[in-house]
Amino acid sequence: MAEHMFIFGAGYSGQALAQQMLGNGWQVTGTTRSPAKLGMLSEKGLSALIFESGPDERITEALAEATHLVLSIAPAHGMKDKQPATTSVDPVLDAFGALLRSIAPKLEWIGYWSTVGVYGNFDGAWVNESAECRPASRRALMRVEAEAAWIALGQQLDLPVAIMRLGGIYGPGRNAFLKLADGSAKRIVKPGQVFSRIHVDDIAGTTMLLAERRIGGVFNICDNEPAPPQDVIAFAAGLMGVDVPPDIPFDEADMSPMARSFYGDNKRVSNARIRELGYSFAYPDYRSALERMWREDSWQ
């Protein structure tokens, strides 16, 4: 049977995954909310469909042939302000969850892209997949609830569900070089603060490994080296040969409430479990990634 991956939310990471799967001979269908992006996705080899919130006949037809399902839509999509603070909204579950067995009879594996934000704050300590989730924000709480809902559905359908908790995503078109080039780069310094990151190609690579082997469970998808954000900016500036932006103390930084909230979570996220499956990171740390993108001129 030909393997067919259906990606709900073929955005930045979804498109990178699609390219890897297409390159390995898979058929790939991906959704977008924007009619303007349909042509672009089609040019990249995907069967592209519009998905907003409810069932759609063309999506149902594509799901009938899908062997693998990847969810890349945040649970906050489609939320209404009137809903309770603890309400988790997953548009794919809402639209297709109860119908999945009947409309996707060939389905063999489900992958859900979550975030390391579900862990909350550990004051810089290392965490692995067995760590308690103590989300500090509404969006992280909704992720925890969406994870649980997909795991429960997988158990109901007797399908493996891989929960992939992603670090901060970067890659071509989304990196420190671009911020330095446009003048928006800031070196905000909060003593002891680190973030875990993941190059978009390694999101695709780890997802492909789990999908091909039909492996379920929870996996942290981040590189080998959690690091302070100001170090990443400084390293990129050195490669570009431009001045390193000055330090800005965290307490004095002009930041949006959402950006500031990210600094409330401080932890080092272990990727040991995915490496134990034999995955070798294409970009094991931010330095090797930035050096390669700069050398290959792929950062833009």
Where residue 76 sits, what CATH number does that domain have? Answer: 3.40.50.720
**pTM over cut 0.85:** yes
In a domain, residue 291? The reply is no
Averaged over 260-276, what is the pLDDT?
Answer: 96
Q: Which two tokens stand for residue 95?
A: 């639209």
Residue 115 lies in a domain: yes
- Strand 161-166 relative to strand 217-221: parallel, antiparallel, unpaired? parallel
83, 298, 69: which is closest to 199 by C-alpha?
298
Distance between CA atoms of residues 79 and 251, nearest Å: 31
Q: Rounded distance, CA 127 to CA 289, Å? A: 23
Side chain identity, residue 295: R
Residue 252 domain-assigned (yes or no): no
> What is residue 269's predicted lDDT score, i.e. its pLDDT?
98
Average pLDDT, the chain: 94
Q: Is residue 258 part of a domain?
A: no
Which residues form the domain of 147? Answer: 4-174+196-226+268-283
Read off the pLDDT band of 89 (50, 70, 90): low
Residue 55 lies in a domain: yes
Looking at the structure of the chain, the number of domains it has is: 1
Quickly state the pLDDT bin for 79 (edges 50, 70, 90): very low
Instruction: Write down the pLDDT at residue 188.
Output: 97
Q: Say if 129 falls within a structural domain.
A: yes
Q: By the 8 A CB rule, do 164 and 113 touch? A: yes
What would the mean pLDDT of 279-297 be, rounded to a whole number?
98
241: left (phi over 0), alpha (psi -120 to 50) or beta: left
Mapped onto helix, strand or coil, the DSSP state of residue 108 is: coil
Place of tokens 């080899």: 45
In-domain check, residue 220 = yes
- Radius of gyration of the chain measured on its C-alpha atoms: 19
